[in-house]
Amino acid sequence: MTQPVLSVRDLVVEIPTRHGILRPVDGVSYDIAAGEILGVVGESGAGKSMTGNAVIGLLDRPARIVSGQVLLKGEPIHHLKGAALRKLRGRRMGMIFQDPLTSLNPLLTVGDQLTETILEHLDLSVKQARERAIAALDEVGIPAARQRIDSYPHEFSGGMRQRVVIALALCAEPELIIADEPTTALDVSVQAQIIALLRRLCRERGVAVMLVTHDMGVIAEAADRVAVMYAGRLAELGPVRDVVTQARHPYTAGLMASTPVASQGQKRLRQIPGAMPRLDAVPAGCAFNPRCERAQSRCAQAPGPTLQTCDDRAACWFPITHEQEAAI
């Protein structure tokens, strides 16, 4: 088995606040292989973005990694700081943010922003860097890249801007891309193009992609595997087809049932009763237990279920089996 590009092991992120210590990420583990897209899905506040930020070392203070490991091609990187971390960012892992409007510096041309990134990481002349920047724009599908390279961000449309963002993330050829809600701010028609672009780049370059989104539709379309997060913990992790069609965790099942794309063919959407707990009030045991139809007394007792302690796919003491799922 080839070594995964990214391995996250028992990652715990904490934020000390005056209401006590919050754990937006609590014991998350997963791998992403080269050329693979891992979808990370969950409601807002489930800790999915925080996981991405933790991986690339962009946690805002006072949030910090308190335990666990992040391994990039087997090397631990979670403890890196300063220059060492900076050298990895952009060069070996890139990030794409939600809003292409605000991700680009409005006062610099896209060419400036591309070349500065390229020059930072690759030993090239300014001229070479510029050529490479044009190539990068070309690759992400910017028409007439050579002419448009000296344009300012505001001169591009939303979709084009996101392409520029992707070009920026990929221009130094990183092995890992963390895409944090890359399509959320875009029009639906553009969303599909960006997803297709990501998929293409992933396949062609063999980049590992961590695709963070709350949109099951995007996951179903783009991801190879999917990690479902709930209250900072991993609820379910598996190949996208299996998770979408045969969810084992009751939360995943509920999530699927409430999503239009994933629940195609069903008569009506279903809602999960209640809401995800606030981080300062995560229930003991399984975090989902107060809302779970299948909850039993064990579910409310610590320690809560994890992927390791239960099924290797769902962190649930009483996962849904295939037959049961069919009955729902």
Partner 1 sequence: MSDPQNPAETRPAPGRMARAWQSDLAYSFRHSPVAMISALVVAVLVLSAVFAPWIAPHNPFDPGSLNLMNGFTPPGAPNAFTGDTFLLGTDDQGRDVFSTILYGMRISLFVGFSAVLLAMVIGVVLGLLAGYLGGWVESVIMRTADIQLTFPAILVAMLIFGVAKGITPPEYRDQMAIYVLILAIGLSDWVQFARVVRGATLVEKNRDYVQAARLVGRRPFSIMIRHILPNALNAVLVIATISLALAIIAEATLSFLGVGAPPTKPSLGTLIRIGQGYMFSGEWWILLFPALTLLALALSINLLGDWLRDALNPRLR
Partner 2 sequence: MLAYIIRRVAQSILVLLITGFVAFSMFSFVGDPIENMLGQERTQADVDRLRGQLGLDQPFVVQYGKFLQQAAQGNFGLSYRQGREVSAILAERLPATLELAFVSGLLALGGGIGFGILTAIRKRGFSSNAIMTLSLVGVSLPTFLIGILLIFLFSVELGWLPSFGRGEVVDLGWWTTGFLTVSGLKALVLPAITLGLYQMTLIMRLVRTEMLEVLRMDYIRFARARGLRERSINFRHALRNTLVPVITITGLQLGSIIAFAIITETVFQWPGVGLLFINAVQFVDIPVMAAYLMMISVMFVGINLIVDLLYFAIDPRLRVDGKSGGH
Residue 69 one-letter amino acid: Q
Nearest-angstrom CA–CA distance, 15 and 45: 13
Minimum CB distance to partner 2, residue 87 (Å): 6
Nearest-angstrom CA–CA distance, 204 and 207: 8
Q: Is 45 in the site for partner 1 (CB under 8 A)?
A: yes
Count the neighbouring beta carbons within 10 Å of the beta carbon of residue 82: 8
Minimum CB distance to partner 2, residue 74 (Å): 20
Nearest-angstrom CA–CA distance, 304 and 93: 32
Nearest-angstrom CA–CA distance, 184 and 186: 6
281 binds, among partner 1, partner 2, none (CB under 5 to 8 A by kind): partner 1
Q: Is 250 in the site for partner 1 (CB under 8 A)?
A: no
Q: For partner 1, which stretch binds (CB under 8 A), given 39-47, 77-85, 143-151, 178-186? A: 39-47
Nearest-angstrom CA–CA distance, 151 and 133: 13
Minimum CB distance to partner 1, residue 18 (Å): 6
117 binds, among partner 2, partner 1, none (CB under 5 to 8 A by kind): partner 2
Per CB under 8 A, the list member of 1, 83, 107, 275 interacting with partner 1 is 275
Per CB under 8 A, the list member of 5, 8, 11, 15 interacting with partner 1 is 15
208's tokens: 């590992």
Per CB under 8 A, the list member of 33, 72, 134, 165 interacting with partner 2 is 165
309 binds, among partner 2, partner 1, none (CB under 5 to 8 A by kind): none
Are 164 and 142 spatial neighbours (Cβ–Cβ below 8 Å)?
A: yes
- Name the nearest CA neighbour of 222 among 211, 236, 207: 211
Nearest-angstrom CA–CA distance, 222 and 195: 6
Lookup result for tokens 């992933």: 202
Q: For partner 2, which stretch binds (CB under 8 A), given 10-18, 94-102, 201-209, 294-302? A: 94-102
**DSSP designation for 128:** H
Contacts with partner 2 by CB under 8 A lie at 56, 58, 86-91, 94-95, 97-99, 102-109, 116-117, 120-121, 152, 154-155, 165, 168-169, 172
User: By the criterion CB under 8 A, which residues form the site for partner 1?
Assistant: 15, 18, 22, 24, 43-45, 274-279, 281
